[in-house]
Amino acid sequence: MRSTCKPLLIVAFVGTVVAIPALAQQSASDYPTPCEASKVSKGDVERAHTVFLSGKQFLEESNYDKAISYFKDAYTIDCSVHAILPIIAAAYERKGDKANAVRALEEYLRRAPNAPDHDVVERRIKNLGDQLAREQPSATAAPTASPTVTASTPAATSTAEPVPATTASATPVRSPEGETPAETVSGHSAAPWVVVGVGGAALVTGAVLFGIGAGDISSALDRCPTRKGCPTDVASQGNNGRTLEGAGVVAGLIGIAAVGAGLVWHFTEKGAEAKNAHVSPVVGPHYAGVAVSRAF
């Protein structure tokens, strides 16, 4: 059985090593050339937001191809919103296309190297890569599973009870839903990291909301510096900006609390088994949120 498993492991390893460079060599032609936010007109920002909302609707309806198409169109219109790449990755992942999900996340890290959710995205890439590595040997092992090996006693002792047959299989055992059994993560459950990830996403969301609110207030002051007798739309813009600023502060405080609670939980728990989970931040101009899903 050892001689059968070793070639399978070698095939799986070689397949993984070949697959990773292949992903890296694919061009980023699916995505526009990144640009500065200052070079995007207000009209394009609003149009990109409208297209993004259409994509979000298709995503909620599980029409992943349309959702991905609209998200990419929104990014093409406003090429400064790199945070839409993790959203595209989430759509690919829900579609079952893990390879393109990894591509989108890696492109995000290249375009936004200082993003606050950098660690969360790296964990998502690792989890997806692990899933791809597990799926590949499973597909390879299926047609080459080792035959049944039956042990029998010598002829001189034919009256003895026969030894039961044993079957060697190189295919991983999967649950009825197609998932591998729960794994232990360094003696700790993954739940605290989910809390930390949610907190990090809340911090990102708070920062985005605060920035949008500050921008609206600045625009309103430019159009009506005295704050007296201002047009209705200007006053509304300023009030909305203040509301968004407040919401950003609240979201940021919640994020800080969640990160702290998750870290305390991680370092104080005695260890438990749980399924890995990852958190996907969803942020962009006038839209923000967080998506939590099981890694495997």
Structural domains counted in the chain: 2
Provide the strand spans (E) within the chain. 148-149, 166-167, 277-284, 287-294
Tell whether 235 is covered by a domain.
Answer: yes
Within 10 angstroms of residue 12's Cβ, the number of other Cβ atoms is: 20
pLDDT at 16 (0 to 100):
42
CATH classification of the domain holding 74: 1.25.40.10
> Is 179 a domain residue?
no
- If you compute the radius of gyration of the chain from its CA atoms, what whole number of angstroms results? 26
Asked whether residue 138 is domain-assigned, the answer is no
Last residue of a domain, one of 67, 97, 118: 118
Q: Looking at the domain assignment, is residue 216 inside a domain?
A: yes
Query: Along the 296 residues of the chain, how does pLDDT read in single tens digits?
Result: 444 444 443 433 434 434 444 444 444 568 999 999 899 999 999 999 999 999 999 999 999 999 999 999 999 999 999 999 999 999 999 999 999 999 999 999 999 999 899 899 999 999 999 999 998 765 555 555 444 444 444 443 444 444 444 433 334 434 344 444 333 334 557 777 787 788 788 878 888 888 897 888 888 888 888 888 888 887 888 888 889 888 888 888 897 988 888 787 777 765 444 444 444 555 554 445 544 444 43
Please indicate, yes or no, if residue 73 is contained in any of the structural domains.
yes
Q: Which residues contact 122 (CB under 8 A, 6 or more apart)?
A: 109
CA 8, 11, 13, 15 dihedral sign is: negative
Query: Tokens 């609670």 label which residue?
Result: 261
pLDDT at 170: 39
Q: What is the pLDDT of residue 31?
A: 92
Instruction: Select from 91, 118, 145 the last residue of a domain.
Output: 118
Helices 98-111 and 2-25 meet at what angle, rounded to 10?
50
